[in-house]
Amino acid sequence: GGSLETRKYWNNFLQDTDLLVFLVDAADAGKLALAVSMLKELLGDPRMDNVPILVIANKQ
C-alpha cells in the first residue's frame, strides 16, 4: 500500500525481497510525482540493489 499510513512499514519488508512490483495510478498527475519520489527512495536502499522491479502504470 502506498498510503502515508502504510508507507512507514515498507522498511520492514525490504530485507529478503525477491521482486518489487510498483503500481501507480498514471491518471492522477498530482500523485505521480510523489510515486516517482517514493520509487527513487526505495531504489536508493542498498537492499534493493539486485532486486528485479516491475513498474505498472494503471490508468483508472
Numbered residues of the known binding site for GTP: 2
Give the whole-angstrom CA distance, residue 44 versus residue 26.
Answer: 22
Q: Indicate the annotated binding residues.
A: 2
SS3 25: strand
Give the whole-angstrom CA distance, residue 1 versus residue 30.
Answer: 17
